[in-house]
Structure 1
Amino acid sequence: MNILKKMYCRIFQKCFHVAIPLLPYREPELIRGFAGVPGVLAEKKISRVMLVTDPGVYGLGLTEPLEDLLKAAGIFVSVYKDTVANPTSANVEEARRQYLQDQCQGLIAFGGGSSMDCAKGIGARLARPGKSLAKMEGILKVMRRLPLLIAIPTTAGTGSETTLAAVITDADTHHKYAINDFFLIPDYAVLEPEITAGLPPQLTATTGMDALTHAVEAYIGRSTTRQTRDAAVLAICLIFENLERAYRDGKDLDARACMLKASYLAGTAFTKSYVGYVHAVAHSLGGRYGIAHGLANAVLLPIVLREYGASVYGKLARLARLTGISSAASDKEAAESFIEHIQKMNDDMKIPGTLQGIRKEDIPMLAAYADHEANPLYPVPVLWNASELERIYHLVQEEQKRDRTGNQTDSGKAA
């Protein structure tokens, strides 16, 4: 990246960092269990609500207990259950029309990050009916209060129940972009470990690694605060202690509850301190190929951390010591142990080392999307332009075996 662009990015990031205490960040109010939701809606005088979910969650019957409680309380429920894995602008527009037709007064997002993002997109379009989602890409482009939004995560990973971001894929161009606005932060969140107990092991693994990515990227960035550092460290400790337990035994409700707490904490950390190039690259891959966000983040995290090199040794070493991963005096050695631990978690949970389907001819375009998303917003340890970001796509694309330091072994071969 040339020196002028670097200066622009760092000045932009510094301004946001300095402004953090002045900006209207907030956390959603926690509701204890499904039983508390009807009372909140009654207090807000809401008698008609839209529940936004996806076919998988709906098909498993996970929404039924809440629907029954709401109906028993005399609250009409309009269910939108067609959210796709990377929610599209078409999803949002279809659901918005249903919301208006059914005269709803509030939104309940029930599911993973996709359902949360779809509900936030619906709320943004309701708040700004004359403005397309594409025109809201970026920072503070909504700037109007959304209808009441309650978030109920069914995965412990995205942290979307706490964040000011919605990630939407354009239905026509497949461009995946983020909308960031304080009004997108949900008003309430329900953390209910029982509804995560039926998640398949691989989804538990990849969404958990998604939460880890949020916490690590928030911690190693250049816009941290004491609060975000503390939240990130606690989230990382909880994930290291509980993710593989939840992966091995889906009915371990204590591990599930700890993972929901970790996801929530990681969400509060990256809402203020932002993420980094892992997310920017993952979003571009999700938009182009439909690669699940948690999977992309899980695979990319150790790759990008290695590529950051010495710029992250100090912070990763502190994380390694705080979490008990390493007591090495050398920052480099401790940092490498931390990355190795993440790689081992991926290996133990059968998360692949590369991603399938990335076409070489797409990489310049994908890197341009990642550059557009990340720079200047994300306060990354090292600044890379689109050309430099292309290397990450090649590393994650290659179908080759690597040892745990990231080096290609003799038995590997390029795609």
Structure 2
Amino acid sequence: MNIVKKVYCRTFQFVMRTALPFLPYREPKLLDGVNGVAELLKQKKIARVLLVTDKGIRSHHLTEPLEQALANAGIGVSIFDETVANPTVANVEAARQMYLDDGCGAIIAFGGGSSMDCAKAAGARIARPRKPLSRMEGLLQVLLPLPLLIAVPTTAGTGSETTLAAVITDGETHHKYPINDFALIPSYALLDPEVTVGLPPMLTATTGMDAMTHAVEAYIGGSTTRGTREAAVTAVRLILESLPVAWENGGDLTARAKMLRAAYLAGTAFTKSYVGYVHAVAHSLGGQYGIAHGLANAVLLPEVLEAYGTAAHKRLGRLAVEVGVAGASDTPAEASAKFIARIREMNARMEIPRTLEGIREEDLPKLARNADHEANPLYPVPVLMDAQELQALYRLVMPKTEENTNDRTTDRAGAGKSAQILFDGQNAAQSLSSKGA
């Protein structure tokens, strides 16, 4: 990345970090069971709600207790269950239309990150009927309050029940983009481990590693606060302790509850401190190929952490010590290596692959441009990379073939060397940015 862009990115991040104490961050109020949802809606005098979910959740009857509680309270329910894995603009518009046609007064997002994203974006379109989703991409493009939004996560991973983000895919261009606005933070959330019991082991694993990615990227970035660091550390500890248990025994409610708590805390951490290139690359892969976000994050996390090289050693090493993966006598490099090794061990234990199928070499320039557009200047990553440099990260997770095995080895070494060179040169950029700010 050229020096001008580096200075711009670091200056932008410095301004955002300085503004953190003055921005209207909030956390959703936690509700007590499905009856608590019904009671809240009665208090708000809301006669009908839109329930945004997907067909898989409906087929497993997970929404039935909530539907019954609402029926008992005399509250009508319109059910939108057409959400797809990477929700599209068409999904959002269909949900919005149902809300309007049926005269709903609130939205309940019931599901994983996809249902949450669809519900948030539908709320944004209800609040801003004349503004298309494509013009809401980026930061603070909604601004107006959404209808009352209640989040009920069925996966312990995305943390969407507490974040200001929604990620939407343009079905025509396959561009996957984030919408970030304080208005998107749900007003209320219900964390019920019972609704996560039916998750298949692989989905438990990948959504759990999604939460791990949120916590780690929030911790090692340059815009942390004492509160976000504490939330990230607690989340990582809970995930290390509880995710393997939940994967092996999906009926363990204690492990499930701890994972929901971990996902919530990780969500509060990255909402303020942001994520990094793991997410930017994962989003581009989801938009282009439909690769599940949690899976992409799980596979990318150790590779990107390693590619950051010495730039991430201080913070990542400190995190490793705080969560008990490394000892106080370990050097930052040793502690970082132990943490990355633990991530690889967890992935292997839970049968998460080391590569992602379907990535095409000819798509890399487009994918990297999308990742660059998402991440820079917003994400306060340890090392700044432009689109050309980001291409190396995709090659690290492409399946090995006779043709690309040597290229992958070169990319891994080159990414680390590039990160070191970039890190060595960025102190000057950061100094300039501070002066400029």
Normalised by the size of structure 2, how large is the TM-score?
0.91
CA distance in 2, matches of 1:6, 1:41: 48
Structure-2 residue corresponding to 1:228: 228
Distance in 2 (CA, whole Å) between partners of 1:53 and 1:115 is: 5
Q: Which residue of the partner structure matches residue 367 of structure 1?
A: 368
**Residue 417 of structure 2: aligned partner:** none
2:300 is matched with which residue?
300
Distance in 2 between the 1:369 and 1:408 partners? 24
> 1:171 deviation in Å?
1.7
Structure 2 match to 1:393: 394
Structure 1's 235 and 400: CA in aligned 2 closer, same or farther, altered over 3 A? farther
Once the two structures are superposed, residues 232-258 of structure 1 have per-residue CA deviations (whole angstroms, 9 ceiling, x without a partner) of 000000000000000000000000000
Q: Which has the higher helix share?
A: 2
CA distance in 2 between counterparts of 1:210 and 1:372 reads 21
Map of 1:1-400 to 2, 5 A cutoff? 1-327=1-327, 328-399=329-400
- The alpha carbon displacement at 1:307 in A equals 0.2
Shift of 1:166: 0.4
SS of equivalent residue, structure 1 residue 161: helix
Q: What percentage of aligned pairs have identical amino acids?
A: 65
Shift of 1:113: 0.2
* Preserved contact between residue 214 and residue 275 of structure 1 (Cα < 8 Å): yes
Determine the structure 1 residue equivalent to 2:419. Answer: none
SS at the partner of 2:141?
coil
With 327-336 and 18-27 compared, the bigger mean Cα shift is at 327-336
**Counterpart contact for 1:303–1:392, Cα < 8 Å:** yes
**In 2: Cα distance, 1:92 partner to 1:283 partner:** 18
1:351 is paired with a residue of what secondary structure?
A: coil
Query: Offset of 1:408 from its aligned partner?
Result: 5.4
Q: CA deviation at 1:363?
A: 0.4
Q: Any idea what the Cα deviations from partners look like across 1:28-87, whole Å, max 9, x if unmatched?
A: 000011110011111111111000001111110000110011011100000000100000
The answer on whether the counterparts of 1:400 and 1:408 sit within 8 Å (CA) in structure 2 is no
SS in 2 for 1:350: coil
Conserved? CA contact 1:228–1:270, under 8 Å: yes
In the alignment, the residues of structure 1 paired with residue 381 and residue 104 of structure 2 have an alpha-carbon distance, to the nearest angstrom, of: 41
Offset of 1:324 from its aligned partner?
A: 1.2
Question: Residue 178 of structure 2: SS of its match in structure 1?
Answer: strand
Alpha-carbon offset, residue 400 of structure 1: 6.3
What is the match of residue 413 of structure 1? Answer: none
**How far apart in 1 are the matches of 2:294 and 2:401?**
21
**What are the Cα deviations for residues 147-186 of structure 1, in whole angstroms up to 9, with x where unaligned?**
0000000000000000000000012111000000000000
The amino acid across from 1:398 in the alignment is P
Distance in structure 2 (CA, Å) of the matches to 1:11 and 1:358: 34
**What runs of 5+ residues in structure 1 fail to find an aligned partner?**
402-406, 410-415
Deviation digits for residues 190-244 of structure 1 (CA, Å, limit 9, x no counterpart): 0000110110000000000000000000000000000000000000000000000
Q: More displaced, 375-384 or 323-332?
A: 323-332
SS in 2 for 1:178: strand
Matches of 1:376 and 1:239, distance apart in 2: 30
Residue 66 of structure 2 aligns with an amino acid whose one-letter code is L
Q: Could you tell me which amino acid in structure 1 is paired with residue 266 of structure 2?
A: A
Q: Distance in 2 between matches of 1:237 and 1:156?
A: 14
What residue in structure 1 maps to residue 427 of structure 2? none
Secondary structure (helix, strand or coil) at the match of 1:397 reads coil
Find the aligned partners of 1:104 and 1:35 in 2 and give their Cα distance. Answer: 19
Structure 1 counterpart of 2:89, one-letter code? S
For 2:168 and 2:393, how far apart are their aligned partners in 1? 23
Q: Deviations over 1:126-161 (max 9, x none)?
A: 000000000000000001000000000000000000
Alignment check: 8 A CA contact 1:10 1:379 kept: yes
Question: Alpha-carbon deviation of 1:302?
Answer: 0.2
What's the counterpart of residue 404 of structure 1?
none
Matched to 1:237, the amino acid is R
Equivalent position amino acid for 2:378 in 1: L
Question: Hey, what's the Cα distance between the residues in 2 that align with 1:316 and 1:172?
Answer: 39
Q: How many Å separate the matches in 2 of 1:400 and 1:274?
A: 35
Aligned amino acid, residue 388 of structure 1: E
Listed one character per residue, the Cα deviations across residues 263-288 of structure 1 (whole Å, up to 9, x for unaligned) are 00000000000000000000000000
Q: CA deviation at 1:329?
A: 2.4
What one-letter code is carried by the residue in structure 1 that aligns with 2:313?
Y
CA distance in structure 2 between the partners assigned to 1:284 and 1:188 by the alignment: 30
Give distance in 2, aligned partners of 1:325 and 1:362: 37
The runs of 4+ residues in structure 1 deviating greater than 2 Å are 398-401
For 2:62 and 2:352, how far apart are their aligned partners in 1?
A: 26
Amino acid corresponding to residue 145 of structure 1 in structure 2: P
Matches of 1:330 and 1:392, distance apart in 2: 26
- Tell me how far 1:16 sits from its aligned partner: 0.4
CA offset digits 1:263-321 (Å, max 9, x no partner): 00000000000000000000000000000000000000000000000011111111111
Which residue does 1:412 correspond to in 2?
none
Q: Which runs of 5+ in 2 are unaligned?
A: 403-407, 411-437
User: In the alignment, residue 372 of structure 1 is paired with which amino acid?
Assistant: H
Quote the Cα distance in structure 1 between the aligned partners of 2:195 and 2:350: 21
CA distance in 2, matches of 1:399, 1:284: 21
Amino acid at match of 2:288: R
What secondary structure sits across from 2:79 in the alignment? strand
Let me know the Cα RMSD of the aligned residues.
1.2
